Amino acid sequence: MSHTFAELEAPARLNGRMRAGVYRGEGRVVVEQVPIPEIGEGELLFRVASCGICGTDIKKIHHGFISPPQILGHELAGTVVEVGRGVSRFKPGDRVVSFHHIPCGECFYCEKKLFSQCAGYKKVGLTAGFDPNGGGFAEYVRAMPWIVQRGMIALPSDVTFEEATFVEPVNTCLKAVRKARVASGETILVIGQGPIGLLLTILAKNEGATVYTSDPMAGRRAASIQFGAADAFDPAVHDLSTEVRRRTANRGADAVLLAVPNPALVAEALALARPGGRVLLFAHNDPVLQLQFPAAAVGVEEKEILGSYSASVDEQAESAALVFSRKLPLRDMISHRFPLDRIADAIELAARPKQDTLKVMIAHE
């Protein structure tokens, strides 16, 4: 249903409050009325139209890695409704997609292009209240000055808000694929075909690699084939080592991208990589998780273990262009849409997916 800008704002401005899915403790997100954030100089307020649910959100909610109350959600796009003094890049009515982390660009880590290790990057620049933590699970979000200046992108008129929410996750996965040095002509194995694993598959294929995938869920294996995988294996049925070696002259994969946080799979991923190959750990951001693997895989067979965390400002323009051009089949990844009032159901489905569950989206409009 379409609304004018004035119609969207009038109800909220009458009482200065909005709905938000508030994290209230391990496993609990409750829809509450909270104050609409006030903005200051250099800041802006935007109305959230769509927000994707990320695996990181699920980990924080279901494992209690953060202290309540919090308003999460960082894959978000919407419409600017208010700008603070000094803001010239955007005006009310502009459609935007926003990152929630942006590096300072001047420190040691930024000079080394390790942007996610920058102290400024670690400060979240979007909030809907409480501690800044993204805020996309609310109706309105306040963007801080460094986000307004360098972390927000205007949307082309033909790009939907849902499509725009993929700019940040595409960036994180593009960074990971580049970190793993995926190259044209290589054979890549992606373990796990949830939303992130599917994006890794799509982007590795886009780099010119032949991509094989593994996932225990038939629906996700079928999706990976739809999105360009050469073959998809059920780890409960197929011996992955046999399948990969049969396709690589008995060498193993050039790179294995691991999109499942199961610690037991790290040693398996190393075994599936060829000597001198690479293993990229994407989902391993749990602060208490411990990993074990055979030392000889690294010390003798010279296999590399790489990590990739969050987005890269260097990939910002390219990730946006990939989304805006519709070069990637992103719309087909959205399997479920929930209104904000049903955010608890959305999070439950994303945490415990069914056969047909891919990307779960909160649709505010």
Q: What is the pLDDT of residues 188-233, one digit of tens each?
A: 999 999 999 999 999 999 999 999 999 999 999 999 999 999 999 9
Q: Please tell me the predicted confidence (pLDDT) of residue 4.
A: 35
Q: Please tell me the predicted confidence (pLDDT) of residue 10.
A: 44
pLDDT at 344 over 80: yes
Q: Please tell me the predicted confidence (pLDDT) of residue 285.
A: 80
Which residues, other chains included, contact 188 with Cβ-Cβ below 8 Å and sequence gap of 6+?
180, 182, 204, 209, 210, 211, 212, 253, 254, 255, 256, 257
pLDDT at 179 over 60: yes
The residue whose two tokens read 């953060």 is: 66
pLDDT at 159 over 70: yes
Q: Please tell me the predicted confidence (pLDDT) of residue 92.
A: 97
Mean pLDDT of the 67-72 span: 96
What's the pLDDT band for 9 if we cut at 50, 70, 90? Answer: low
Q: Which two tokens stand for residue 86?
A: 């000094």
pLDDT at 114 over 80: yes
In contact, 250 and 187? CB cutoff 8 Å? no
What's the pLDDT band for 365 if we cut at 50, 70, 90? Answer: low
Percent of the chain at pLDDT exceeding 70: 96
Structural domains of the chain in order of their starting residue, each with its CATH number:
5-166+330-363 (3.90.180.10), 171-307 (3.40.50.720)
Q: Which two tokens stand for residue 196?
A: 């992130």
pTM confidence score: 0.94
User: How many residues would you count in the chain?
Assistant: 365
Going through the chain in order, the beta strands assigned E by DSSP cover: 17-25, 28-35, 44-52, 75-83, 95-98, 126-127, 140-143, 152-154, 187-191, 210-214, 231-233, 253-258, 273-281, 304-307, 334-338, 359-363
> Across the strands, what pairs with 28?
25
Write down the mean pLDDT value for the chain.
94
Distance, CA of 264 to CA of 314 (rounded, Å): 33
What's the pLDDT band for 286 if we cut at 50, 70, 90? Answer: confident
pLDDT at 71 over 50: yes
| Strand, helix or coil for residue 177 | helix
Mean pLDDT of the 113-130 span: 97
Mean pLDDT of the 338-361 span: 97
pLDDT at 5 over 80: no
